[in-house]
Structure 1
Amino acid sequence: MNIKPQLTEQLPVSRHEQIKVRLTRSNPQIQLGEMGILEWDLLLASQEQQEVYYQFIVEHPSDLTVLGLEI
């Protein structure tokens, strides 16, 4: 029996024109949707596991301090 879970995640969204958030990598591959939404439609067999990951970068001028980037 297969299941079809949908996984949804949101990237940070900048409201400042000089701050850009870009999706740089994802597995499985995905296109970035509106407002930074990522949606994976998966197909898994019963008891199957799948790793999903993504990576993004935040670009901004070096003289602009951006809060909330600490991990």
Structure 2
Amino acid sequence: MGLLKFIAVGAAIGYGINYITKKGPNGRSILDDITEDAPEWFNKAKTYATEKVEEVVQQARPNSGY
């Protein structure tokens, strides 16, 4: 049973990699789009995390004057 599960997972991973690297009608793959947009997503996540950290710090010290 373990071998069958290993084969099924391997096939699913292989199909997934094939799907995201397959070129579409516009000549680009899903992976191309993801790697192109990654820096923008990173900057948005960094900004969001910074805002949340500052919010938590303000809640932790409401009357300390910092």
After TM superposition, the score normalised by the length of structure 2 is: 0.20
Query: Of Structure 1 and Structure 2, which has the larger fraction of its residues in helix?
Result: 2
Is the radius of gyration larger for structure 1 or structure 2?
2
Query: Of Structure 1 and Structure 2, which has the larger fraction of its residues in strand?
Result: 1
After TM superposition, the score normalised by the length of structure 1 is: 0.19
